[in-house]
Structure 1
Amino acid sequence: MSTIIMAAVWPLQGMSAAQKAVLVSLADQANDDGACWPAVDTIAMRTCLSERAVQEALRWLQATGAVFRQYRENKSSVYTVTPQGYDPAKAPDKRARTKAGTGADGAPPANGATGANGAPLADSAPGAVGAPGGAGGAPGGGKSRTPGVQEAHQGVANGAPKSSNEPSLNRKGTVNEPSPAAAQPGGDGDDAARKEAYQQACRDTWTAYEQAYQQRYGTTPVRNAKVNTAVAQIVKRLGAMEAPQVAGWFVACVNEAFVVKRCHAVGDLLAQCEAYRTQWAAGITMTNTAARQADKTAANHSVVPGAADKARQMIAQRRGAQGGADAG
């Protein structure tokens, strides 16, 4: 932060709270020459403003001479805070609309302004009439520039630092802005691939369920938003590889009374999908009768080893004792 620039910015009047906040944010990041290069989203985060509000404030500050903006290709713009050049009288009328399509705050139009003869504006060569460094050192010669670029060159004439890397204009007369960075490994490209694989697993699971359902019931199952959500949850819980196989097996092989009564609803599969997956993987089909038998078998195995033999010995001893007493 430059205390010199900050001290010169604070007393400035005649601007809105948003415009003052953006100017103070730039001054806070500027060096003693007033230069800084924050991104628009950084300024928006620091000032609690939207990016659109920041852009509008920057264009207003450019028009009034408080900020000089240097556009750079594929890089952040360089802003130079010039409080000595601030003139609120230069503020554009918000109600004004020029034939060239200039916005309410004097910003260049989104689709580019045109010249007096309707042709796209072209950048004048250095040293020519009306170009920076030409006769008089100011734009002239009857040709106009895009408003934002014109203000930038006026800032150079008023003493703002001049850069050798002037903004380049496309054929529409607007400044070429940086292009978005390409997707990096591990970024949006990988996320898209994972999303597509997950959606394909959901489609495969529904296809397996639907085919088995048609074979068993001779009709197609109902499919709606609730069913789609259940299928998606089954894929998440069982995985993309096993979910389709378990879904088809569930309809073809599960014969539990309540499941058959509900015609193998997808919700019943979802409610116990882990248990059905175990049955599918083990090659067993659990019914109510099989469950009772398994429970009885487990109870028999839980008896203390040798307890039955001891019980038989005790019964034999009692019978022997009773027989001896009868004989006496």
Structure 2
Amino acid sequence: MSFQAMAWAVEQKLPTREKFVLLMLANRTNHDTGRCDPSHRRLADDCGMSASTVKRAIQQLEEDGYLVIENRAFNAVKLPNQYRLCLERGVGSHRTYPVQDEPTVGSHRPEGLGHSDLGVGSHRPIKQEYNQEDKTGSKTEKPCGDLSAPPTKAAVSNKSAKKPKTEPADSDRQEACRMIWSSYATAYFARYRTEPVRNAKINTQVNDLLKRLGSVEAPHVAAYYVTINDSYLIRSCHDLGSLLAKAEAYRTQWATNTQVNGVTARQMENTQANLNAAEQAKAMILEGGQGNAFLRR
């Protein structure tokens, strides 16, 4: 899977049929070579659609300029088409589609995240006012700790020295957030056949997940989380809040490829209880002086 192609596909405003086919093509795009040549049958299985429906969607995507189809053949034998996604194309469409607007969430956005691209919000410069000379010609005396006083070189130097260097650059953080959202949204669409809600609260949760798990593992954990078959998560439709609440636990499940839900947890608990009971019984027999007799039996 190409994360760049997946992030681009997620941002496109398309009807459900074309959007899902485009997402599956991005999922089948090789990250290193850019090769994308799944058969119609393979795409139909990925999308849960008929092959004819997939063909119509691909034709429409080509007409609208989202991809280029390259027909291939070898020794007069037709091979699966080669697809090139037009990643240089920005977000939008040649056609007008009835796309639902994103939910409005107040006028304040979380610091460091925008509403549409999980980017860094703009910061307004703080206007600093300096005391001027009064009418008598004498300078107005500034009180100790006056915030309006211009900072000294020493203060600026100290602030620069204390600034943590572990925070990722803004552009890197934006790209990492996009990757996390793309992985989560793709897995969510594959399971529920609809896109997850995205608003300011979700943007904040994605940024927090990046801080908790890092840019390398967070996208994989987000996609894996949607595949977990747990009654609580299914009832809550695998919301990001539940993922963020136990991010480290889900990361361990992803790393060990072991899904733990209520049933498996009880089974593991019962197994451990039986082992503990057996050990206690053995210790009691040995302490009672019946160890040798027990072993002879």
Q: If the TM-score is normalised by the length of the shorter chain, which range does it land in?
A: 0.3 to 0.5
TM-score relative to the length of structure 1 = 0.38
TM-score relative to the length of structure 2 = 0.42
**Greater radius of gyration (CA):** 1
